Amino acid sequence: MDPDTYKTIATSSHGIYREKGSRFVASAYPVSDQEQIKHIIAETRKKHFDARHHCYAYMLGHERLIWRTNDDGEPSGTAGKPILGQINSYGLTNILIIVSRYFGGTLLGVSGLINAYRSAASAAINNTGIIEKTIQEYYELHFPYEVTNDVMRVIREENAGQSQHKYDLICTIMINFRLSLKATILSRLSRIDGLEYCYIETR
């Protein structure tokens, strides 16, 4: 991968693993923040209300620094950790995987549980497409109307995205571009008379 790209899943997907009567129903979701994750977990608990456990793991951010696991009552390290292990194995981020377990009456033991949760998570990942996305930086530009052509030339030549246009004596535009182009684009913009830019976010 390029230094300004990351891998995630294209769409939500599901997978099932069965072992000694127990059924492990895995669901993988592309996610962008923790509020979205909380909502999905709550909805999953409602949908699979009769499941005994709802174990999960997630990874957020292009730097893959925000993550969490939850065993939801299973022995420590037997559920959330192997689910996260599959996320790491595929090098994914901005992903949530929840595995709901329907108990079949037979204890699986530590190794059996680890294998079951890992296999269910892998099945969910394999049932969706893995995509590569570019890391985008977003900036708000403020500039005098008379330099609009200069600004638009930079945006066009550097293939930057643009939105939220407001044209007046002082114009405002939101632009976004891949991280690797940051130095070049900001250098060109800084040479335009009267232009100011403000960093918004990276995602």
pTM of this prediction?
A: 0.86
Residue with token string 């930057």: 160
d(CA 21, CA 106): 7
Q: What is the pLDDT of residue 203?
A: 86
One pLDDT digit (tens) per residue for the chain, 203 residues: 557 999 999 999 999 999 999 999 999 999 999 999 999 999 999 999 999 999 999 999 999 999 999 999 999 999 999 999 999 999 999 999 999 999 998 889 999 999 999 999 999 999 999 999 999 999 999 999 999 999 999 999 999 999 999 999 999 999 999 999 999 999 999 999 999 999 999 98
In the numeric block, the tokens 């004596």 are attached to 169
Amino acid making up residue 61 = G
Distance CA 41, CA 48 (A): 10
How high is the pLDDT of residue 2?
58
